[in-house]
């Protein structure tokens, strides 16, 4: 308990849960880390598909990036409409559930949960890659560094991050600023012809252009689509904006999309003109920064800012996942304890589960961003598609002013994201997307299984308003099994006698001599409680006791049987193996008997 | 429970624990499987040390075997004296503890426990090797077969082997008979010059005689000493013989030693003259049998008899280990439940532990006899030495008729086994004996740790005969925490009211609206029990309850607090994750509070 307090801080009062309203400038910082941070790896992922086939294909990264920016524009427009329709926050789960029904809602929820875990894993892996690019000696420790980073973010989130916009503003704007500066200087160098291409690795063995398949192009496009993960975040947080909330949120979203598009296109263009080739131990963005700034302070600033914004992106999932889990828990699709706020006003269970799952992924994929990426985008785009499709359905039913235009916009969004989802799922299937495609239905089954259990429980425990109280036993016989007379037993006798009623001590007779000895002791210490010696032809203490209790239950159908067990509690946990084996067996045997209630009277050992 | 009955049979009455008295013929069968079975691997182990150095060294197996037979003679003589001195059974633990003191006794006990585990592992591995020699296609499945064999022996022993001598007599005498027949025919062939040597594997690359070191000779001797494991068994079971017990036991022991010596010498001699070389997938004894009998029915009979006696040897450890563990448990050196006889009149805990540990060894060493052997003999010989040393000490103190002669015999035994122990420990140290040498002190520490704990407990719970009864609280306040009104809660209310006394229902106020609703329901269902709403500024149900209970304990120093928890018991175990999380936390928090007693009132769900 002390440890917990030191790690996560003292409890907070409910009244302390005040919410800060964010200005557009601060909101951009708070909500955009997830989206903006993806420029740190998106260009690299495109090149990683093209370059291994032939270095001469690298120029294709430019048109592919343009396609992705176009998709970004479509998404931004579509999501602005969600912002105005769901000012209370329109996550994919809510939008698809309210418009399309339960199954699509659960599908969106499943994809989102998987996404949040992957957001943490991918962002942390890419953040660590930013560090190891600058300090290559750390490269072999990627996994450990990743787990450490997640643990830190986990602890911060268990303490509860007060939504302090300023805390986010500095690193986010630093990232935007340094990257824009880099792109500006790079652009000037490019236009003035002073851009020095990176010395490419030895490609003597490289074959000439091989057959360029459509599949390859689509796969590169799929990889680039990771740039768009996180663009929906603002639409979840409309209520945190200053009034008029929807308008401010929409303006912020457009601003974010412009910044994202600029950074992404800029990096792709510079990387191509610099002839950057993906390397295992240095990121593309690090190579670009090194080419433009040299090895000076500015280079390290770019790396530090990249790492920081990626960690913030991971942090944003720690807000989203527990919130989604609590929404699901309120609908009984997740265990109810996911909806319980801890004493730091945080859904601690969700935070811990997300931390554990993402650490697991980091360890499983050895902190390798490229290995994690194929799992990532498919869930994101599935939830995009379901949201847009939900909006289409909404306009068809609700109509209202300009509904045809709105329908068209969301319709285009739905079709575009659906196509992207199919492309990603098919081209990345064998690289890992299949894992997500298998997991989504399993999650849905789990959600529905949990709800049907809660339903069954509620039906069983709900009281019938008009019905009479079921008849219940009115008497209570206390049975106190002993195997000797000692302080623990005497304590249990005292406890049993502290409320009026019938108390019977029972002793299983294994050895007549021993039994006689105990009976004599009982005369002194038993306080007049009647001691019954049970015969035991099979030497089974448990069997004889069970038979005796069964007998009482049969004879007295109107009686509770309270079994009081004197239990010795050792001072150290491992000493339990030396005690209470019989008590444990007795408890297990009695647990499922109706009208039998167990009471342990602990006797605490001090050494 | 049904499964258990099917597997181990119905319980037996204490009165059914009759003991059969054994004739010498039957006793030889019952007690000699451990010793006799070791001829199945001892010769091979000697050759395995010599032959890899040079095939020309194989003839040294004859003098080494003679040395071992000499040691057997010394041991037999020494142990006959133990038989007469300890007619109730003189295991190494008892003999060393009663004559040398606690530390040597515990050392003997530790080596014996390790030995029993190894007896099972080695015997089963060698038994499986007998089968795979005959059916080489089974060779890759050694580990699985070994685990299967141990499981069968384990189950038979959980059922309880009635000491039916006849059950043991057939396979033991079959083994002795077939092996003597094989040695006889082989001997005639040898003397008549008709012995056809086995075609030796291609040894073209074999170097000439390399330096023959003393160390190598001693190592070969150590390996051969495994032939002597189990010779002490008869001295443990004197009480099972017909009167006059010691005399009959001694005669049986000498007979066994003669048979053992004959078989061992015979196999070593034949193996040498046949030029048998150890092979990975066929045992030496199988090669000898094949050379003499050909591939006919007699060959398979030898293999089957060998396998059977080895399984019986493993079985004998299942009698010894639990008995030793129960002796230790009675002296509080092992958990007391090791001394509890199960309903089949068997020390089931010991049987299960032995089965698990020996399976673990089989899996760890992949069912390979040769890998297990170096661990085996060191513990056996350490316990021999301690027994003999104990007898020496006994004669020095007790004296009596002919004590000088007896002293000399046990003295020679002690010195011979001590030297053998040192040889085995040093020459096999790096091959695995170090594991045993490390384990023995750890076991002793464990024994003493357990006893000192039991002593501390006994001091803490024993009642002071003359002392007055410690003052105890006389009142009892029942606290019933609820978070809603449902059937489970109503059941708990009924239980609480079934004994007279003060009952207080408490509700932690997390949400005023919800609280008001529950208070209205309570008016209908609460049976007049007072409901207290506790404020909870930190939303911590647990914290508020603990504060409230703490307050009662402080205000009323003369009162027990009974906390009745309405608990929902799901129909399936995994559903527990969806329930009772709070009850669990409450229990953990209250467990160490003095004067607080917990009572679960279960409500059983049916689906």
Q: Please give the structure tokens belonging to residue A92.
A: 């994919």
CA distance A518 to A537: 19
What residues pair up with B475 in beta bridges, in sequence order? B559
Per-residue pLDDT, averaged over B277-294, amounts to 90
Q: What angle do CA B61, B65, B70 make, to 5 degrees?
A: 155
B chain contacts of residue A476, beta-carbon cutoff 8 Å = 495, 498-499
pLDDT of residue A357: 95
- Selecting from A457, A474, A476 the residue whose C-beta is nearest the C-beta of B568 gives A457
pLDDT of residue A303: 93
Q: What angle do CA B338, B325, B390 make, to 5 degrees?
A: 150
Q: For A207, which DSSP code?
A: -
Name the minimum distance, in Å, from the CA of B352 to any CA of chain A.
Answer: 16
Least confident of A98-112, A341-355, A392-406: A341-355
CA distance B272 to A20: 93
> How many CB atoms sit inside 10 A of residue A113's CB?
26
Residue A299 has pLDDT above 90, yes or no: yes
What residues pair up with A224 in beta bridges, in sequence order? none
Closest among B103, B116, B90, B102 to B34, alpha carbons compared? B116
For residue B567, the SS3 value is strand
Name the minimum distance, in Å, from the CA of A337 to any CA of chain B.
Answer: 8
**Residue scoring higher pLDDT (A577 or B226):** B226
Check if the beta carbon of residue B98 is closer than 8 Å to that of residue B390.
yes
pLDDT of residue A418: 95
Contact state of A540 with B336 under an 8 Å Cβ cutoff: no
- In angstroms, what CA-CA distances link A148 with A116, A128, A363, B171, B414? 18, 10, 11, 63, 60
B285 sits in the region (left: phi over 0; alpha: psi -120 to 50; else beta) called alpha
- Selecting from B11, B461, B538 the residue whose C-beta is nearest the C-beta of A11 gives B538
Token pair 């239905």 in the structure block, residue = A441
Average confidence score pLDDT of chain B: 87
Order across the sheet with A559-569: list the strands.
A530-535, A502-509, A475-482, A559-569, A596-604, B596-604, B559-569, B475-482, B502-509, B530-535
CATH fold of B21-201+208-454 reads Amino acid/polyamine transporter I (1.20.1740)
Residue in chain A nearest B344 by alpha carbon = A538
Show the DSSP H helices in B294-402 as ranges. Answer: 297-330, 348-364, 369-398
- In angstroms, what CA-CA distances link A461 with A145, B527, B605? 49, 18, 8
A113-116 long-range contacts, CB within 8 A, separation 24+: A113/A321, A113/A324, A113/A325, A113/A443, A114/A375, A114/A379, A114/A436, A114/A439, A114/A440, A114/A443, A115/A229, A115/A376, A115/A379, A115/A380, A115/A383, A116/A317, A116/A320, A116/A321, A116/A324, A116/A354
Contact state of B604 with A581 under an 8 Å Cβ cutoff: no
Is residue B23 classed exposed, middle or buried when 0-12, 13-18 and 19+ CB atoms within 10 A define those classes?
middle
Q: What is the pLDDT of residues B219-274, one digit of tens each?
A: 999 999 999 999 988 888 888 888 888 999 999 999 999 999 999 999 999 999 98
Q: What angle do CA B259, B265, B270 make, to 5 degrees?
A: 120
Q: Is the peptide bond before A145 cis (omega within 30 degrees of 0)?
A: no
A chain contacts of residue B336, beta-carbon cutoff 8 Å = 578
Q: What angle do CA A584, A588, A593 make, to 5 degrees?
A: 140
CA distance B319 to A509: 27
Closest among B229, B194, B20 to B117, alpha carbons compared? B229
- Between strands B475-482 and B502-509, the pairing is parallel
> How many CB atoms sit inside 10 A of residue B167's CB?
14
The separation between the first and the last C-alpha atoms of chain A, rounded to the nearest angstrom, is 22
Q: What is the pLDDT of residues A3-22, one digit of tens each?
A: 666 666 666 665 555 556 78
What residues pair up with A269 in beta bridges, in sequence order? none
pLDDT of residue A253: 94
Residue B467 has pLDDT above 70, yes or no: no
Contact state of B486 with A461 under an 8 Å Cβ cutoff: yes
A chain contacts of residue B343, beta-carbon cutoff 8 Å = 538-540, 543
Contact state of A581 with B337 under an 8 Å Cβ cutoff: yes
Check if the beta carbon of residue A403 is closer than 8 Å to that of residue A109.
no
Could you tell me the pLDDT band of residue B204, with boundaries at 50, 70 and 90?
Answer: very low
Q: What angle do CA A350, A353, A354 make, to 5 degrees?
A: 85
B chain contacts of residue A491, beta-carbon cutoff 8 Å = 472
B chain contacts of residue A341, beta-carbon cutoff 8 Å = 539
Closest among B116, B95, B97 to B106, alpha carbons compared? B97
- Selecting from B345, B591, B604 the residue whose C-beta is nearest the C-beta of A602 gives B591
Closest among B545, B553, B549 to B473, alpha carbons compared? B553
Check if the beta carbon of residue A231 is closer than 8 Å to that of residue A68.
no
Closest among A382, A353, A410, A543 to A79, alpha carbons compared? A410
Could you tell me the pLDDT band of residue A472, with boundaries at 50, 70 and 90?
Answer: confident
Contact state of A486 with B461 under an 8 Å Cβ cutoff: yes
Q: Please give the structure tokens belonging to residue B226.
A: 């495994």
pLDDT of residue B3: 66
pLDDT of residue B593: 85
ipTM exceeds 0.85: no
Check if the beta carbon of residue A534 is closer than 8 Å to that of residue A508.
yes
Could you tell me the pLDDT band of residue A247, with boundaries at 50, 70 and 90?
Answer: very high
Contact state of A488 with B606 under an 8 Å Cβ cutoff: no
- Selecting from B454, B476, B603 the residue whose C-beta is nearest the C-beta of A461 gives B603
Q: Which residues of A3-23 are buried (b: 16+ CB within 10 A; e: fewer)?
A: eeeeebeebbeeeeeeeeebe
How far, in whole angstroms, is CA B474 from its chain's centroid? 48
How far, in whole angstroms, is CA A540 from its chain's centroid? 49
pLDDT of residue A204: 44
- In angstroms, what CA-CA distances link A481 with A96, A490, A506, A523? 59, 12, 5, 16
Which of A353, A454, A463 is the best residue to mutate to test the B interface, defined by the most B CB atoms within 10 Å of its own CB?
A463
CATH fold of A22-195+211-312+359-437 reads Amino acid/polyamine transporter I (1.20.1740)
Q: What is the pLDDT of residues B77-109, one digit of tens each?
A: 999 999 999 888 778 999 999 999 999 999 999
Average confidence score pLDDT of chain A: 87
**Across the A/B interface, how many CB contacts are shorter than 8 Å?**
164
**Residue scoring higher pLDDT (B227 or A342):** B227
A chain contacts of residue B345, beta-carbon cutoff 8 Å = 539
- What CATH number labels A475-604? 3.40.50.620
Residue B122 has pLDDT above 80, yes or no: yes
Q: Which residues contact A407 (CB under 8 A, 6 or more apart)?
A: A392, A395, A396
Could you tell me the pLDDT band of residue B445, with boundaries at 50, 70 and 90?
Answer: very high
Which of B521, B578, B586 is the best residue to mutate to test the A interface, defined by the most A CB atoms within 10 Å of its own CB?
B578
Q: What is the pLDDT of residues A29-48, one digit of tens each?
A: 888 999 999 999 999 999 99
pLDDT of residue A447: 95
Could you tell me the pLDDT band of residue B530, with boundaries at 50, 70 and 90?
Answer: very high
Could you tell me the pLDDT band of residue A285, with boundaries at 50, 70 and 90?
Answer: very high
Q: What is the pLDDT of residues B30-76, one digit of tens each?
A: 889 999 999 999 999 999 998 888 787 888 899 999 999 999 999 99
Stretch (H or E) spanning A384: helix A369-398
Q: What is the pLDDT of residues A308-328, one digit of tens each?
A: 999 999 988 988 898 899 889
Residue in chain A nearest B460 by alpha carbon = A605
Residue in chain A nearest B597 by alpha carbon = A601
- Between strands A596-604 and B475-482, the pairing is unpaired
A chain contacts of residue B338, beta-carbon cutoff 8 Å = none
- One-character DSSP codes across A233-291: HHHH-GGGBPSSHHHHHHHHHHHHHHHHHHHHHHHHHHHHHTT----SSS-HHHHHHHH
Could you tell me the pLDDT band of residue B8, with boundaries at 50, 70 and 90?
Answer: low
Could you tell me the pLDDT band of residue A275, with boundaries at 50, 70 and 90?
Answer: confident
Check if the beta carbon of residue A249 is closer than 8 Å to that of residue A28.
no
A528 sits in the region (left: phi over 0; alpha: psi -120 to 50; else beta) called left
Contact state of B598 with A599 under an 8 Å Cβ cutoff: yes
CA distance A107 to A181: 41
Residue B579 has pLDDT above 70, yes or no: yes
Q: Show me where the domains of chain B are located.
A: 21-201+208-454, 475-604
Residue A203 has pLDDT above 60, yes or no: no
Check if the beta carbon of residue B468 is closer than 8 Å to that of residue B555.
no
pLDDT of residue B54: 78
% of chain A surpassing 90 pLDDT: 53
CA distance A219 to A428: 7
Residue B337 has pLDDT above 70, yes or no: yes
């Amino acid at each position: 308990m002390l440890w917990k307090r030191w790690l996560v801080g003292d409890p907070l009062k409910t009244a302390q849960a005040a919410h800060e309203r964010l200005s557009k400038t601060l909101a951009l910082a708070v909500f955009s880390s997830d989206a903006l941070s993806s420029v740190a790896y998106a260009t690299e992922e495109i090149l990683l598909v093209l370059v291994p086939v032939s270095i001469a294909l690298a120029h294709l990264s430019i048109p592919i990036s343009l396609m992705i920016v176009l998709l970004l524009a479509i998404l931004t427009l579509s999501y602005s409409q969600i912002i105005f329709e769901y000012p209370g926050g329109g996550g994919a789960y809510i939008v698809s559930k309210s418009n399309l029904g339960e199954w699509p809602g659960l599908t969106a929820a499943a994809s989102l949960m998987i996404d949040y875990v992957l957001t943490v894993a991918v962002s942390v892996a890419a953040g660590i890659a930013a560090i190891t690019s600058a300090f290559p000696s750390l490269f072999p420790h990627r996994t450990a560094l990743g787990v450490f980073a997640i643990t830190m973010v986990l602890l911060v989130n268990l303490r509860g991050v007060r939504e302090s916009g300023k805390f986010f503003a500095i690193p986010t704007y630093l990232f935007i600023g340094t990257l824009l500066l880099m792109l500006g200087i790079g652009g000037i160098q490019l236009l003035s012809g002073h851009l020095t291409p990176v010395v490419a690795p030895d490609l003597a063995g490289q074959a000439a252009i091989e057959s360029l398949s459509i599949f390859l192009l689509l796969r590169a496009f799929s990889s680039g689509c990771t740039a768009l993960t996180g663009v929906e975040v603002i639409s979840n947080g409309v209520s945190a904006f200053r009034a008029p909330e929807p308008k401010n949120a929409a303006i912020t979203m457009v601003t974010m999309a412009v910044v994202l598009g600029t950074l992404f296109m800029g990096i792709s263009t510079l990387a191509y003109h610099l002839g950057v080739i993906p390397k295992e131990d240095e990121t593309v963005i690090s190579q670009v920064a090194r080419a433009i700034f040299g090895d000076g302070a500015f280079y390290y600033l770019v790396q530090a800012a990249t790492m920081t914004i990626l960690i913030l992106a991971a942090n944003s999932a720690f807000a989203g996942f527990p919130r989604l889990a609590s929404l699901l828990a309120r609908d009984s699709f997740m265990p109810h304890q996911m909806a319980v706020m801890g004493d730091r006003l945080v859904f601690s269970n969700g935070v811990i589960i997300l931390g554990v799952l993402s650490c697991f992924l980091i360890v499983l994929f050895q902190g390798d961003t490229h290995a994690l990426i194929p799992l990532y985008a498919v869930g994101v785009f599935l939830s995009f598609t379901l949201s847009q499709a939900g909006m289409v359905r909404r306009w068809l039913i609700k109509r209202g002013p300009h509904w045809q235009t709105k329908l068209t916009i969301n319709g285009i969004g739905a079709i575009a994201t659906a196509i992207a989802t199919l492309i990603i799922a098919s081209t990345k299937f064998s690289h890992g997307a299949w894992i997500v495609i298998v997991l989504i239905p399993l999650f849905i089954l789990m959600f529905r299984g949990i709800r049907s259990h809660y339903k069954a429980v509620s039906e069983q425990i709900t009281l019938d308003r008009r019905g009479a109280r079921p008849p219940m036993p009115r008497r209570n016989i206390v049975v106190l099994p002993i195997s000797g007379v000692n302080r623990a037993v005497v304590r249990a006798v005292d406890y049993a006698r502290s409320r009026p009623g019938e108390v019977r001590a029972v002793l299983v007779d294994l050895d007549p001599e021993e039994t006689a000895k105990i009976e004599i002791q009982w005369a002194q210490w038993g306080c007049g409680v009647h001691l019954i010696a049970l015969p035991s032809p099979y030497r089974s203490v448990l069997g004889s006791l069970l038979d005796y209790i069964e007998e009482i239950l049969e004879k007295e159908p109107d009686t509770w049987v309270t079994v009081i067990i004197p239990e010795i509690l050792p001072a150290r946990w491992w000493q339990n193996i030396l005690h209470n084996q019989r008590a444990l067996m007795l408890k297990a045997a009695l647990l499922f008997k109706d009208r039998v209630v167990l009471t342990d009277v602990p006797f605490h050992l001090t050494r």
